Structure 1
């Protein structure tokens, strides 16, 4: 399956006032990006460790009202921080506020400081992935029971590349698989995901492939190779306080060139 290229932007909610973040969201939507992400942490991941930072899901509710057409989501929500049924209801509510533009990005969690300072049990990578696998059926069951129901089948983006456990969860539950790494890494892990899909009886073409391209200035041979591997969602990231969107415009132009031939 050849999917059109989509371009995402992760607006990292760190080192900035909310007014700066809000202006960046408006500029990204005006530029024509397909999806805007934040992230689900409580402290900056780089730069001044105690710098300015804002919470993920209250922000997504605000973005749902402040935007009109762009999809929104977290890259990614930490499954450990909220009861799965509560998270499902939060997602359903933001889905309605946005008029059906939410993507539920979710992962097992990894940033130990968040856990320590907010009182969550850190556990082990294995226990966190097991918790994620147990949470996703609860999330989908809560959506099925909700009144009103979500506006549509909310896409579930799962981030992570653990080959034995995480990719099995992706095969079972994801609409989108998000990963990092070079083309060789993505090729290997994508093939393993296909194997998991065969085991669980899932068509691998149902799962969109997504990669983070960080602060890559312009698409080049690496992006073309990713495209050949079936990747269709490419996400650049920007941090506060400046939120420089210069790179984004190169990626949007490349998207339009690629999609003209699809």
Structure 2
């Protein structure tokens, strides 16, 4: 595999997803301090109401109130949810929430967003689950509203808030990415991401977007030895390490990825 043109000049970045499940908030707070001290680039949580693994009714905390606290707690790393579920909140309200956390964090918020998929969240909190198609259509409708609301707010965001879109559907989702995203978070192997990068580049050509404007992101394998170099070669420049409260927020894998990042950037 050869490096992709869209990655030219971009540094390698490492994020961590501190999953807000199976832990007390004091543990989450300590982990946020620890990963920022280690030098992580982005600190994510997720936007769900119940655990996604382990005990289904185990401890769990809400996403966006947590991000406001992280905005005050941290000083360097970017923050966000991987990813916000679009249909849990009115798009204009979400825009205002994002603008507020942007100001709290002095311009370090990433608005990471997706169409949503976890049916239990919808059922127990009274949201209409709909279909995959209807949720993707709602995402396409929401993003222009979010950007329009940012332009109207007083004060406006401190910066052009980066939009990360998660998902890999080639007919609809990647078109939305080409139209609206600054970062695309895909899923799968290096080979899969290489193929979808090509599809995204084609959509960029269709909508008149320079594909180099979109940073390519994905989930980190267990260790860099499990395919880190291949992901780098296909142009992935933001890899996020999962960190679960059920494991006591073990930071060993994250430390390996940060050392690998530093080596890649030194040799770039």
Question: If the TM-score is normalised by the length of the shorter chain, which range does it land in?
Answer: over 0.9
TM-score (norm 1): 0.98
Rounded Cα–Cα distance in structure 1 between residues aligned with 2:209 and 2:234? 19
Residue 267 of structure 2 aligns to a residue whose secondary structure is coil
Partner of 2:235: 230
Q: CA RMSD in A?
A: 0.8
Residue 102 of structure 1 aligns to a residue whose secondary structure is coil
Rounded Cα–Cα distance in structure 2 between residues aligned with 1:17 and 1:261? 40
Is 1:253 matched with 2:245? no
Rounded Cα–Cα distance in structure 1 between residues aligned with 2:235 and 2:244? 28
Structure 1: stretches of 5+ with no match in the other structure: none
Is 1:184 matched with 2:191? yes
Matches within 5 A, 1:112-261: 112-214=119-221, 216=222, 218-220=223-225, 222-241=227-246, 242-261=248-267
Rounded Cα–Cα distance in structure 2 between residues aligned with 1:232 and 1:62? 27
Matches within 5 A, 1:31-46: 31-46=38-53
Q: By how many angstroms is 1:223 displaced?
A: 1.3
Rounded Cα–Cα distance in structure 2 between residues aligned with 1:91 and 1:4? 25
Residue 243 of structure 1 aligns to a residue whose secondary structure is coil
Q: By how many angstroms is 1:71 displaced?
A: 0.5
Q: By how many angstroms is 1:221 displaced?
A: 6.0
Runs of 4+ aligned residues of structure 1 deviating over 6 Å after TM superposition are none
Structure 2: stretches of 5+ with no match in the other structure: 1-7
TM-score (norm 2): 0.96
Rounded Cα–Cα distance in structure 1 between residues aligned with 2:11 and 2:74? 22
Deviations 1:68-91 (A, max 9, x none): 111000000000100000000000
Deviations 1:173-197 (A, max 9, x none): 0000001110111011110001110
Rounded Cα–Cα distance in structure 2 between residues aligned with 1:107 and 1:257? 32
Is 1:98 matched with 2:102? no
Q: By how many angstroms is 1:201 displaced?
A: 0.3
Rounded Cα–Cα distance in structure 1 between residues aligned with 2:180 and 2:50? 29
Rounded Cα–Cα distance in structure 1 between residues aligned with 2:152 and 2:80? 22
Q: By how many angstroms is 1:228 displaced?
A: 1.1
Matches within 5 A, 1:18-97: 18-97=25-104
Size of the aligned set, in residue pairs, is 260
Rounded Cα–Cα distance in structure 2 between residues aligned with 1:141 and 1:224? 39
Residue 252 of structure 1 aligns to a residue whose secondary structure is helix
Rounded Cα–Cα distance in structure 1 between residues aligned with 2:9 and 2:224? 19
Rounded Cα–Cα distance in structure 2 between residues aligned with 1:240 and 1:91? 25
Residue 30 of structure 1 aligns to a residue whose secondary structure is helix
